[in-house]
Structure 1
């Protein structure tokens, strides 16, 4: 049936075909090749029209592209056409137009190439856009605006940016969500976003169907009848194991039920989803009332607390950022960890509140279940900070101003647009969904996390008040936090290697186009980009720029900032996002909330106390559902290990291709080292394996 409908649509195209007119002696033959996108629903059955503009501004006739008895413009297909049109000299612009006829009218065009008969040169026109009506694309060579001399291209750049500024708008500053946050895009829902920065159907639809918006959890339907009434409490560990072990529930690839083990706790703190929370304990904080007697049994023989502090063997993970945020069951813990002679990092004390005088302090020397319960309350607090601060703020919201300014200020001809677009394309989609579904009043986070209604946004804004762009420089943070020599810290090793690889790549790209300080200063599109990011994105409310520069003066400033942006949107986002299912799928490991207030005494906890402290079954299943949606791989996702491939090839110059080839070679070497290391580990770390790292922020 579908094929018959498509055939009818194809016949209609033939019937409506626009014929060539004019004197054939003044015409030449062009070979036109058009690549349709690979994502879901990229193909079209609409009529597609085509026109070329030459270097001098002359235009060819408008012609309909159609191969007789062929279904053109199907998903992933490359269609070739021989057309006889006026000789307009060097092809400079192309126009694509769809008339929205047919049953499948939407169309995503990736790349167009044009070759004149008798010439060997092929002109490439990167499009990578949804075509809605008329779309104009320019020849693909990148160029700084001050180096453009052709009036046709200068006019194209100005027209394109004027159109984009009309489409991509900053939020109204009076918006209730604007205060205390970085600037964001004017869109109340994902559907309100410009089409080119919306998630593709293969990303958004799959996410929407697996994420359980407004507690309509598909996963809960799957387990209906397995766990009984989902509003009830868990009765036993056996019941939980039976439900979570059911074949209808997704399994984490490397998940092992080792939640009670201190070694596993330490591994997850280093190589889990909050890998930057650790800092070296150079002196016990005054509010952490841990004594030698409390933890002496946890230290290596002959060692003392002060000796191990001096040796750099003690570390702190502090949840104090949540102090003052209203919680359903208030707990703002501090955890003291110790790396022993074997290289194992283990927790040795958990203080359940910031006030050490009145707070309970629990150590492994206390009862087994007192210790398990204390670790569980700490992981609950840490997992909430991970969702709101580590993930949403540091890898989503602080990138949004750059993404908006990029679309408003940098032409598609600009090398910085081509450099950043693959990594920032979906940032606004992710943040808009977060605001409308996750962080909205009584939204998913209000229902799942430990904070009272509105607490998530309160924490977000509190964390942003002290945020600085330098905070996303994770390599610098390893030194600041004193974790450079921490053993088995695979996240640090992989992140450092990838950061250096990206820095080298960005430096090479910048060096191709910016040969002096003057070339940076004279680039008005670039200066407008950073000025708008600074003014509208960060300093808009109180003048606090949060470390964002207002202008650029030297090429190395571009290298530094764009390395941070690309690393954060790819590697850091993967590190704090992709491993969520493995870490959070077991409620005993890191629950998003707990049903009881933290203990105030020791000696009476049992396994049943631990089980009864967990949230009801419905919330546990919802937590699994959500983190599965966050960390799963989606059909249309592209990965750093294959970047840029053919899916988003914006640069066409051979000199750039060499830089990208070198980048790919370096990534391949990093992959090899990670794979070799993981073969020797009981629990491998592959969140930063380049072939697992998305090319940009997704969900």
Structure 2
């Protein structure tokens, strides 16, 4: 009797909707000593159903040695369908268990190759010696998945004919980070699409938001507001604790200053040691808090500046034939002896002039309030395009595309970063199509819509720096280390340190020396693509063009994860909280700013506000952009098990424990605050830019 070697194969089908297949599934095992026959996986029990675990035996005449690869294919038996295998486990006759991460949709009848889960750098990988599936072939296969529709590839084409293809870059607008080339949402592969659950919960149109907020009947009302109290009726369908606080306190100087620290745009304010030449504030104009002079307060680090110079010269929108107004203000603030941040001067245009007065708190109540309203409208447009769109969404897409272009699944950096790319290509395609296109909601209803958005993006990218993306460097450069009640800084720095420690431990396990970093051509191509296509090869940004040390790599990867998770949460999650009460964050303004003091009335302020229909469309967008889906994956959660070795799995557990402790610390702190800051609580931070 011929002795056979039995391999126990367990296949896990994912829990996604429509993950099941009724078709025939075949497997081939590849090891260092040979290959099994292509085996039809048959069972007396139903197999390959959503969330199912299916077990089979594969017999071989001799041992295959160490397993390095499995080959899977799905042939039509009943009807064409898609299958989502999560992972495979194979127990060998030698009692060794091998893990094969998959986490991909199989939609065709071609052979798909999946490497054993141990992470390997390119110079460590000897799979080709055993007739395995090479890293280069995997990238070519991925390239085929992305572009078979565009290039009309046939099943007869070999992998070698695909060398000219890659997940291609596209230029959305000159001077803006490049994006994935896709003619339609359907041209993107299943693996980057929203789940059925998320798609059902988030039909990405303003109409959906209007319906959920019960504002659909106001969508075409072009009238101006006649009473402030009427605006509160818009909030009846959905209120939050923060929103209630905003509505109550929006006129107060202390809350105006607070938002520069803990609102949706905590990235602009900086310590002011010397006044800009175009902001001719003198001590005689001001009523400072405390006994010191303006010069002394600047010397002591108690004066702060917010300068919206990137908005200067931006062509403002025209809505329904009516010109809109977008200022580029400068704001001076003082840290008071009791720790508050209070505005002390506002200039609404960059160039000093008689018709561009400097407003101060001792002006009439309506003059001062109107100046603050123009600042808040400028902040909405600046933050939405720069802090939110550019610095999180567009950069996250660059990081994602470079991962898909350059890193095979077996690469440790792929395993580390792929959770932080979830849904990013889908959400960004929708954003370009439905928010900032010629017919997009922001184009039609925001002051910066149309050409203004592109201009802001171009100016912002040209002035962007690597250090500003790294929160420890950014806080230090802006002189904000000692500002009290700065919860974005406090929580952000702690999150950065936790992420940095985790990244350092994981990557140092695989990169033992700086030489390992330098000779990893896949890693170097990843950062080169980011430098070239994300930052348009601008050396002035300080973005590395290559990595020479482990420390350089660890810092950059920390920035990538922080940007895709924590930073996006900080600038995205509070949009409805701080912006739904329109007077606090007008998406646009319909009248020019006052040119003289003492002329502003409440009626003029109401006429300056956006029209009713513009207001409700802005609310709907902020509602949708702030709304998490029920299948959100939060920082530290890894439902997809890409790492399989014991060391990274232990570090993941420690990472999760540190995040849990930080979350408890933040919750305890928030209990004593009138306005809790929750946007960097790890339990609220999604793993990726997915909304």
TM-score normalized by the length of structure 1: 0.88
Q: What is the rounded CA distance, in whole Å, between the counterparts of 1:302 and 1:547 in structure 2?
A: 42
Call closer, same or farther: CA 1:597–1:526 in 2, change over 3 Å: same
- Please name the residue that 1:122 is paired with: 97
Call closer, same or farther: CA 1:573–1:67 in 2, change over 3 Å: farther
Contact 2:398 2:534 in 1 (8 A): yes
- CA shift, 1:65, in A, is 4.3
- CA shift, 1:204, in A, is 4.2
- CA shift, 1:360, in A, is 2.4
Alignment partner for residue 661 of structure 1, among 633, 645, 653?
653
Q: What is the rounded CA distance, in whole Å, between the counterparts of 2:403 and 2:221 in structure 1?
A: 46
The reply to whether residue 312 of structure 1 matches residue 309 of structure 2 is no
Call closer, same or farther: CA 1:545–1:43 in 2, change over 3 Å: farther
Contact 1:210 1:629 in 2 (8 A): yes
- Please name the residue that 2:259 is paired with: 268
Contact 1:170 1:536 in 2 (8 A): no
Contact 2:68 2:132 in 1 (8 A): no
Alignment partner for residue 137 of structure 1, among 100, 107, 114?
114
Deviation sequence 1:129-179 (CA, Å, 0-9, x none) = 111223221110101111122324763322101222444567878x66342
Call closer, same or farther: CA 1:633–1:101 in 2, change over 3 Å: farther
Contact 2:34 2:65 in 1 (8 A): no
CA-based RMSD of the aligned residues comes to: 2.5
- CA shift, 1:597, in A, is 1.4
Equivalent positions of 1:464-479 (< 5 A) are: 464-479=461-476
Contact 1:172 1:186 in 2 (8 A): yes
Q: What is the rounded CA distance, in whole Å, between the counterparts of 1:129 and 1:120 in structure 2?
A: 28
Q: What is the rounded CA distance, in whole Å, between the counterparts of 1:335 and 1:251 in structure 2?
A: 30
Deviation sequence 1:463-492 (CA, Å, 0-9, x none) = 112223332112111111111101100000
Contact 2:254 2:341 in 1 (8 A): yes
Partner secondary structure for residue 506 of structure 1: helix
Q: What is the rounded CA distance, in whole Å, between the counterparts of 1:240 and 1:596 in structure 2?
A: 19
Call closer, same or farther: CA 1:56–1:528 in 2, change over 3 Å: farther
- CA shift, 1:630, in A, is 1.1
- CA shift, 1:452, in A, is 5.2
Alignment partner for residue 570 of structure 1, among 553, 565, 571?
565
The reply to whether residue 437 of structure 1 matches residue 434 of structure 2 is yes
- Please name the residue that 1:150 is paired with: 127
Q: What is the rounded CA distance, in whole Å, between the counterparts of 1:101 and 1:618 in structure 2?
A: 54
Q: What is the rounded CA distance, in whole Å, between the counterparts of 2:275 and 2:514 in structure 1?
A: 47
Q: What is the rounded CA distance, in whole Å, between the counterparts of 1:229 and 1:529 in structure 2?
A: 47
Deviation sequence 1:362-383 (CA, Å, 0-9, x none) = 2221222222211111010011
Deviation sequence 1:493-549 (CA, Å, 0-9, x none) = 011001111111111111101111221222222223233333454446xx6574333
The reply to whether residue 238 of structure 1 matches residue 238 of structure 2 is no
Q: What is the rounded CA distance, in whole Å, between the counterparts of 1:261 and 1:104 in structure 2?
A: 62
Call closer, same or farther: CA 1:39–1:61 in 2, change over 3 Å: closer
Partner secondary structure for residue 690 of structure 1: coil
Q: What is the rounded CA distance, in whole Å, between the counterparts of 1:536 and 1:390 in structure 2?
A: 19
The reply to whether residue 41 of structure 1 matches residue 36 of structure 2 is no
Equivalent positions of 1:193-208 (< 5 A) are: 193-207=188-202
Call closer, same or farther: CA 1:195–1:349 in 2, change over 3 Å: same
Contact 1:571 1:693 in 2 (8 A): yes
- Please name the residue that 2:142 is paired with: 164
- Please name the residue that 1:332 is paired with: 328
The reply to whether residue 255 of structure 1 matches residue 243 of structure 2 is yes
- Please name the residue that 2:155 is paired with: none
Structure 1 alignment gaps of length 5 or more: 1-23
Alignment partner for residue 451 of structure 2, among 441, 451, 454?
454
Q: What is the rounded CA distance, in whole Å, between the counterparts of 1:556 and 1:604 in structure 2?
A: 58
- CA shift, 1:691, in A, is 0.9
The reply to whether residue 672 of structure 1 matches residue 664 of structure 2 is yes
Alignment partner for residue 643 of structure 1, among 618, 633, 637?
637
Structure 2 alignment gaps of length 5 or more: 147-164, 317-323
Equivalent positions of 1:106-121 (< 5 A) are: 106-116=82-92, 120-121=95-96
Contact 2:326 2:588 in 1 (8 A): no
Q: What is the rounded CA distance, in whole Å, between the counterparts of 1:81 and 1:29 in structure 2?
A: 13
Q: What is the rounded CA distance, in whole Å, between the counterparts of 2:183 and 2:649 in structure 1?
A: 39
Q: What is the rounded CA distance, in whole Å, between the counterparts of 2:533 and 2:67 in structure 1?
A: 38
- Please name the residue that 1:493 is paired with: 490
Contact 1:67 1:81 in 2 (8 A): no
- CA shift, 1:344, in A, is 1.3
Alignment partner for residue 693 of structure 1, among 673, 682, 685?
685
The reply to whether residue 285 of structure 1 matches residue 276 of structure 2 is yes
The reply to whether residue 618 of structure 1 matches residue 608 of structure 2 is no
Partner secondary structure for residue 125 of structure 1: strand
- CA shift, 1:399, in A, is 3.4
Partner secondary structure for residue 648 of structure 2: helix
Partner secondary structure for residue 255 of structure 1: helix
Contact 1:170 1:404 in 2 (8 A): no
Partner secondary structure for residue 390 of structure 2: helix
- Please name the residue that 2:59 is paired with: 85
Q: What is the rounded CA distance, in whole Å, between the counterparts of 2:517 and 2:219 in structure 1?
A: 65
Deviation sequence 1:244-286 (CA, Å, 0-9, x none) = 2x2xx32234322121122222222111111011001111212
The reply to whether residue 413 of structure 1 matches residue 410 of structure 2 is yes
Alignment partner for residue 58 of structure 1, among 35, 43, 55?
35
- CA shift, 1:58, in A, is 1.0
Q: What is the rounded CA distance, in whole Å, between the counterparts of 2:296 and 2:140 in structure 1?
A: 64
Partner secondary structure for residue 307 of structure 1: helix
Contact 2:17 2:196 in 1 (8 A): yes
- Please name the residue that 1:346 is paired with: 342
Call closer, same or farther: CA 1:276–1:67 in 2, change over 3 Å: farther
Partner secondary structure for residue 111 of structure 1: strand
Deviation sequence 1:540-582 (CA, Å, 0-9, x none) = 6xx6574333322221121111111111111111111111111
Q: What is the rounded CA distance, in whole Å, between the counterparts of 2:360 and 2:533 in structure 1?
A: 48
Call closer, same or farther: CA 1:195–1:469 in 2, change over 3 Å: farther
Contact 1:439 1:457 in 2 (8 A): no
Q: What is the rounded CA distance, in whole Å, between the counterparts of 1:176 and 1:427 in structure 2?
A: 17
Equivalent positions of 1:578-589 (< 5 A) are: 578-589=573-584
Q: What is the rounded CA distance, in whole Å, between the counterparts of 1:165 and 1:143 in structure 2?
A: 21
Alignment partner for residue 403 of structure 1, among 375, 393, 400?
400
Q: What is the rounded CA distance, in whole Å, between the counterparts of 1:171 and 1:66 in structure 2?
A: 38
Partner secondary structure for residue 689 of structure 1: coil
- Please name the residue that 2:152 is paired with: none
Q: What is the rounded CA distance, in whole Å, between the counterparts of 1:103 and 1:238 in structure 2?
A: 60
